[in-house]
Amino acid sequence: MTDSSSDCTYEEEYVFYKNRPHWKDVTPVPQDDGPNPVVAIAYTEQFREIYDYFRAILRSGEKSERVLELTNDAAQLNPANYTVWQYRREVLSHLKSNLSDELNYIGETISEHPKNYQVWHHRRVIVEWLKDPSKEMEFTNVILAQDSKNYHAWQHRQWVVATFKLYDLELEFVNDLLLKDVRNNSAWNQRYFVIIHTSGFTPNVIKNELEYTAGKIREVVNNESAWNYLRGIICHTESGNITSEEFIMKFCEDLYGTGCRCPYLLALIVDICEELFELGASDEIFSMQRALQVCDDLALEHDKIRKEYWKFISRRINQALLHRTTAA
């Protein structure tokens, strides 16, 4: 339990529970840190009191409007406290509270704490109870406009899309995000999520996605997200082999011909060379000798941070060539 009471905007107006007439019947339950706590947390008086009263309520099991107010105060001080949110849901259910109001409340809380798992989980439960996702797409739009890579917002959005089958406009949404920031890995992930749950990677979809992704790579060649997505598409080809798609081989060679030497391109060229060798296919352009040269280029100039890795790949290629020669 952390003390974040310094963030509490209502601190100056706060009235201690011990001074509230309608709480006189409750005896606070102090936190038990044992007889000799190693490092006692310096809670503020306000924080300590609220959680002392909350422990008392947990012990008595009371579910009322005043307890709802108490969980609000406790959540404002520590929005990551699972027990507070769980008990709040129990109170909401018991009182048959207006869930639309609760949705508005948790929306405001998320806006203040957009990277807190517990507040997002609470919203998900409320949407489940309401069986109404009508506000969720716009809500996540707002949060993602502030931080387009917010993991919790994306997780919530994927749950909403999958649960309520709201796939229709999602690719359009993803396209807009990639137009704004082609490096947005979360948007690439969402693109994959939508396709795998709708059309699937059929031959036509694979063709379109390869062309789309190649276009995005040409815009920013050092964009690891797009290269990873390209490799993900390859996994869904009939053979799962890079060399089964002539488009990829031509794309790589054309890009190389422009003078591009980004590590992701060079790594893919090495993989193509090795794959063709393993399949027993000879290719003048994508040969094992070229793979060795590209590994040297990566180790010495274009990917020095992984120098030892590329040396290892070179040794593996040489061993493969030696084994082939010996076997012949």
- Return the active site residues: 115
The total of other beta-carbon atoms located within 10 Å of residue 27's CB is: 10
Question: Token pair for residue 163?
Answer: 């649960």
183: helix, coil or strand? coil
For residue 280, report the phi and psi dihedrals to the nearest 5 degrees: 75, 20
- Distance CA(20)–CA(13), nearest Å, equals 13
Question: Token pair for residue 186?
Answer: 């979360």
- Residues 6+ away with beta carbon under 8 Å from 315: none
Q: Phi/psi class of residue 96: alpha, beta or left (left: φ > 0; alpha: ψ in -120 to 50)? A: left
Amino acid letter, 35:
P
- Residues 6+ away with beta carbon under 8 Å from 51: 1, 31, 43, 74, 77
Taking alpha carbons only, the member of 3, 21, 129, 121 closest to residue 66 is 21
Q: What kind and span of H or E run contains 319?
A: helix 307-327
